[in-house]
A and B are shown apart, each in its own frame.
Chain A
Amino acid sequence: MITLQLLLALLLTVAPAWIWLHRLVPLETPARNWLLAGYSAALGMLATTLIMRLLSVIGLPFSLYSIGAVALLLCAAGLLAPASWRSGPAIVQPRAELPLSRWQYLFIGLCLALLAARLLSLGLELGTRPVTSWDAKQHWTKQARVFFELGAVAPYVSLQQWLELGGSGVYTNMHPDYPIATPLLQAWTATALGSWHESLVNLPWLVIWAATGLVFYSQARLAGASAAVAIGATYMVLSMPYLNIHIALAGYADALMACCYLGAVAALYNWSQQRSAFQLLLALLCGAGCMLIKNEGFYWFLTLFPGILLVLVGIRRGLMVLAVLALLLVLAIWLMPADLEIAGHSLAETRIRYRPDSWLSIYLSFLVHANWHVLAYIALAALAAVPLFARAALPVAAVVVSALLLYLALYLFTKNAVGAVQFTSLNRVALQLMPALGFFSLAVFTLLANRTQGSAKANGAASPAAAG
């Protein structure tokens, strides 16, 4: 019975998004089903939290029926939407790929087996242990419990406001301004189960992990990677220890943010290469979705625009415009009122000054500790290669560099440096970017490999095997 309830909840989460994306993504798009599966899961989870917020606004309590009814309405609307909304034939025509060799089949089989083993260990771990992690208990899951018991979104206010209001109709915690997508996911799971379950409320994190892999794989295929390369890279990203820890010790919002930001960056890269409108839409939807998850989602969303600018106006002009915008940004920060809040933060609160102590922690986190295995080294090599050998990746490089610069600014120039020095938030924020960095690295590799193959063919040499 529990399994059926959970499967129904998963179906109600994914189906509306799938139907709408089916309307938008051209039929001939390579790896289409994987693409639909990944983005339906990611966007479907966010859409479900919006449905729950809508129900609260109109005064209807959460239940499988109420949420299910809205989801079915969305499905019906999607089915009735005109098919002409699709952005025409796929610009990326399916490649006439060489049949896979026996070694490639073995390699793919190995990667799938490794992924299955990882899924099993993470799934059993997550499904067996109760809510464990600090922030989950302090904040996210505690909120989810309240939402579930009330059957509605409850307003959260600061401690002082709560006292002034007498706690009537309001709740309080240490971060009342945090977005509520994450606790709503747990509340939805509990709603589907009909009761609060200390372990099963964390099942969305397993879906997040799977969605990350599906998005990565499908976009990698669209970027020109062969099946073997794409599955190998997908395994590498999904096996990052720190990502796995956040899945197993579920309850933090960072894994969902990582999935959405990956969805945005990967779609933006493929849009920059192929100009398919649906990819730009996916990028913007996922980027905007980041804002539903954590306050820093607003800044990650903004990092997409340097890449979009470079695509629309060209590299040279775009870089000049970015340089001017960067200067204007510095000027704006210099002149803006210290108490003006943007995305939950103000200048006064951030206490801007240079904090060099964070460098050691940043170095250790990326290049010494095993949080990301060796992804940081690979990403550094990819960043170095772009201006010299893979200029087609400049737009997406602008996105990741913007994100990295924001990350460094956060820990080198604001009070959040304490989160670096004590290793409390440093890796959690980095996690939000790492799958996207992994995709960026794969994109650069694919460009380099395909360029070399192209040169070899042009020179009339016997072409080496394609990358993968």
Chain B
Amino acid sequence: MLAQITHTLLLALLFVCTFSPAQAEDVAYTRFTVDLGEIVNTDDGLTVLANEQGQVLLRVPAANLELDPNQRVRFRFGGQPPAEIYLLWQPEGAGQLLQHGFVNYGNPTPFIELNTVAGWEGRVEHLQFGFLVAPNAEVTLRDIRISLPRWSDKLSDTVASWLVFRPWIPRDINVYTGTRDFNVGPFPAPVIAAGIALLLACYLLLRRRRARWTVIALLVFCGWLVLDGLWQWRLWQQLEVTRDRYAGVDSERKPLVSEDALIARFAARAAEQINREDARVFIASLSDSDGMRAAYYMSPLNTYWNRRGIELPEKRYLRQGDYILVVGGSRLLYNRGLGLVRLPSGEDVAVHERLVDNVGLLLEVKE
């Protein structure tokens, strides 16, 4: 009976893979017109130098292209892929240009399912692709393909999503999906759980009262191993990235080579200016992240940081010898000529400028 079930399943799988829906459009673009940016090289794909804002905009010949919500756009980049990708299109007869953007987390072959994009239907008069990179950086595009994906495409995308590695970013402390993108499945946990359930059901149907708990436990364990294998693989790759960055770096220098380097360096310089252990430091920043990190790197000094609150308190709470550390954006008004800072309460306080660079400002309260 098991052999019959297996045989049927295999036939069904073969049928599905072979007789997938016919493709309406499968268009590959390898030649582009550059609207923003400057062509550098066309040998192995198109290498474009972004403008000062980090923008690249390419136009493709798209006359007679039929847009279908079931389509997918896949990009293939060489070298460092862009951080953000934009689609810009103007449907036939529509007066306006439509746009959709998505964040790309280092994937050299990103794709987007267009069923999530409003307005992607009908014939198109005008089609452009925009990429956001670092200012004046280069991006190399090999091709762009618009297609109706087959089951085999979806399967290989799923496997790629489960296997892809991306170095940890701050929000990873909150959630682990097991996929490349947060809200794009299928996700490995329910798939493996379904597989385990199916195997358990087959085993229990076949063995009934002779079923053994050992086998049940082993089936669950094997499913767990599959999932954990993917996870352990990611851990090893992450370790490689971590060691590349920090191995051999002494403790004091680690923040200076981390993602916090700019703020850590600024805080270290500010701390040198403040050579009193009992100094009070008021952190002023509109950015949660900048303010938090500045407060951390100023430790163990006694810091005041009001997250998402009023940046600085009223003047009556400030005294001579206090410090104001401004990082990132701030609503504080600083009159350098007069040596005055206008507090959120509207009061002015006289300050000495102790340190300034493009990360922030350290001011010492005069009175």
Q: What are the 8 closest A-B residue pairs judged by CB atoms, nearest first?
A: A370-B178, A130-B254, A149-B300, A137-B296, A449-B213, A145-B299, A163-B317, A197-B251
Question: Does B292 sit at the interface, judged by CB under 8 A?
Answer: yes
Using C-beta atoms within 8 Å of the partner chain, give the interface range for chain B. 35 or more
Contacts of B302 in A (CB 8 A): 167, 171
**Stretch binding the partner chain, chosen from A11-19, A36-44, A118-126, A203-211:** A118-126
B227 CB-CB contact with A under 8 Å: yes
Whether A159 and B309, one on each chain, are in contact in the complex, defined by CB atoms closer than 8 angstroms, is yes
Interface string of A318-348 (1 = CB under 8 A from B): 0000000000000000000000000000000
Interface string of B164-191 (1 = CB under 8 A from A): 0000101011111111000001011110
Which residue on A lies nearest to B248, using beta carbons?
A128
Does B189 lie within 8 Å of A162, measured CB to CB?
Answer: no
B217 contacts which of A171, A367, A468 (Cβ < 8 Å)? Answer: A468
Complex CA distance for A249 and B170, rounded to whole angstroms: 9
Q: How far is the CB of A292 from chain B (nearest CB, A)?
A: 22
1/0 contact string of B276-310 vs chain A (CB within 8 Å): 00001000000000001101100110111111010
Query: Which of B175, B177, B212, B236 is most buried by chain A, counting CB atoms within 10 A of its CB?
Result: B175
The binding surface of chain B is classed by DSSP as helix
> A371 to B179, alpha carbons, bound, how many Å?
11
> Could you give, for residues 401-433 of chain A, a 1 whenever the CB lies within 8 Å of some chain B CB and a 0 otherwise?
000000000000000000000011111100000
B221–A236 touching, CB < 8 Å: yes
B220 within 8 A of A: yes
Q: Smallest CB-CB separation from A146: which chain B residue?
A: B300
Give 1 or 0 for each of A193-232: 1 = CB within 8 Å of chain B CB: 0011111100000000000000000000000000001001
Also in contact, A378 and B220, with CB within 8 A (given A239-B228, A252-B173, A467-B214): yes
In the bound complex, how far is the Cα of B191 from the Cα of A373, in angstroms?
11
Interface residues of A in 101-160 (CB under 8 A from B): 114, 117-118, 121-122, 124-125, 128-135, 137-138, 141-142, 145-146, 148-150, 159
What is B's interface to A at a CB cutoff of 8 Å?
168, 170, 172-179, 185, 187-190, 192-193, 196, 212-214, 217, 220-221, 223-224, 227-228, 231-232, 235-236, 238-239, 242-243, 245-247, 251-252, 254-255, 258, 280, 292-293, 295-296, 299-300, 302-307, 309, 313, 317, 319
- Can you offer 26 A-B residue contacts whose CB atoms are under 8 A? A125-B242, A138-B295, A141-B296, A159-B304, A174-B305, A198-B254, A199-B246, A232-B221, A236-B224, A241-B176, A241-B231, A242-B176, A245-B176, A367-B189, A368-B190, A369-B178, A369-B189, A370-B176, A370-B178, A370-B179, A370-B227, A374-B189, A374-B192, A374-B193, A423-B175, A448-B213
Contact of A124 with B214 in the complex, beta carbons under 8 Å: no
* Contact flag A465-B176 (CB < 8 Å), given A125-B235, A128-B247: no
Please determine whether A373 and B228 come into contact, CB atoms closer than 8 angstroms.
Answer: yes
- In angstroms, Cα B301 to Cα A149, docked, is 10
The answer to whether B185 touches A452 (Cβ under 8 A) is no
C-alpha spacing A378/B200, complex, angstroms: 13
Residues of B within 8 A of A56 (CB): none
Q: A369 touches which one: B175, B193, B236, B239 (CB < 8 A)? A: B175
Indicate if A377 sits at the interface (CB-CB under 8 A): yes
Q: Is the interface of A mostly helix, strand, loop or mixed?
A: helix
With A130-B254, A167-B302, A373-B228 already in contact, the answer to whether A122 and B235 are too (CB < 8 A) is yes
A124 close to B251 (CB less than 8 A): no
The docked-state distance in angstroms from the alpha carbon of A282 to that of B245 is: 43
**Smallest CB separation, B166 vs chain A (Å):** 14
Q: Which of A167, A229, A427: most chain B Cβ within 10 A?
A: A167
Which residues of A lie under 8 Å from residue B168 when comparing CB positions? Answer: 132, 249
Contact at B293–A121, with CB atoms within 8 Å? no
Give Cα A425–Cα B242 distance, bound, in whole angstroms. Answer: 25
Q: Are A163 and B231 in contact (CB under 8 A)?
A: no
A445 interface hit (Cβ, 8 Å): yes
Cβ < 8 Å to B, chain A residues 157-199: 159, 162-163, 166-167, 171-174, 195-199
Instruction: Tell me if A295 is interfacial: C-beta within 8 Å of chain B.
Output: no
Contact residue among B172, B190, B221, B224 (Cβ-Cβ distance under 8 Å from A367): B190
Given contacts A122-B235, A445-B213, contact A142 B313 (CB under 8 A): no
Q: How far is the CA of A377 from the CA of B309 in the complex (A)?
A: 42
Query: Hey, which chain A residues are within 8 Å of B254, CB to CB?
Result: 129-130, 198-199
Task: Select which of B196, B247, B319 is within 8 A of A374 by beta carbon.
Answer: B196
Interface string of A439-468 (1 = CB under 8 A from B): 000000100110010000000000011011
**Chain B residues near A425 (CB-CB < 8 A):** 174
Q: What are the residues of chain B within 8 A of A129 when measuring CB–CB?
A: 242, 245-246, 254
Closest-CB distance, B169 to chain A (whole angstroms): 10
Q: Are A370 and B214 in contact (CB under 8 A)?
A: no
Most B CB contacts (10 A, CB to CB) among A124, A199, A245, A378 go to A245
A370 & B235 in contact (Cβ 8 Å cutoff): no
Bound together, the chains give a CA A64 to CA B108 distance in angstroms of 51
Please name all residues of chain B whose beta carbon is closer than 8 Å to the beta carbon of A174 when the two chains form the complex.
305, 307
A294 within 8 A of B: no
- Contact across chains for A198 and B255 when beta carbons are under 8 A apart: yes
Residues of B within 8 Å of A465, CB to CB, are 212, 214
Q: A residues within 8 A CB of B239?
A: 121, 124-125, 128
Q: Considering only CB atoms, which chain B residue lies closest to A424 in the complex?
A: B174
Q: Is A244 an interface residue (CB 8 A)?
A: yes
- Cβ of B159 to closest chain A Cβ, rounded Å: 15
Q: What is the CB-to-nearest-CB distance from A445 to chain B, in angstroms, rounded to a whole number?
A: 7
- In the complex the two chains form, is B173's CB within 8 Å of A249's CB? yes
Q: Is B188 a contact of A370 with CB atoms below 8 Å? A: yes
Instruction: Contacts A137-B292, A239-B228 given; indicate if A128 touches B258 (C-beta within 8 A).
Output: no
Cα A448 to Cα B211 in complex, Å, equals 13
Bound state CA distance, A423 and B175, in angstroms?
A: 7
Q: Which of B192, B228, B305 has its CB near the most chain A CB atoms (within 10 A)?
A: B228
Residues of A within 8 A of B295 (CB): 138, 142
Which residues on A sit within 8 Å (CB–CB) of B189?
A: 367-370, 372-374
Chain B residues closer than 8 Å to A5, beta-carbon distance: none
What's the minimum C-beta distance from B293 to chain A, rounded to whole angstroms? 6
How far is it, in angstroms, between the C-alpha of A367 and the C-alpha of B194 when the chains are bound?
A: 11
A199 to B267 CA separation, bound complex (whole angstroms): 19
Interface pair A374/B176, CB less than 8 Å apart: no
Residue in A125, A150, A370 whose beta carbon sits within 8 Å of that of B238 in the complex: A125
Q: Does A29 contact B (CB under 8 A)?
A: no
Complex interface: chain A residues within 8 A of B258 (CB): 130, 132
Residues of B within 8 A of A445 (CB): 213, 217
Q: How far is the CB of B207 from chain A (nearest CB, A)?
A: 11
| A246 part of interface (Cβ distance < 8 Å) | yes
Using Cβ atoms and an 8 Å threshold, which residues of chain A touch B235?
Answer: 118, 121-122, 125, 244, 248
Which B residues touch A273, using CB under 8 A?
A: none
- Tell me the smallest distance from the CB of A258 to a CB of chain B, in Å: 15
Q: Which residues of A contact B299 (CB under 8 A)?
A: 142, 145-146, 149
**A171 to chain B: closest CB distance in Å?**
6
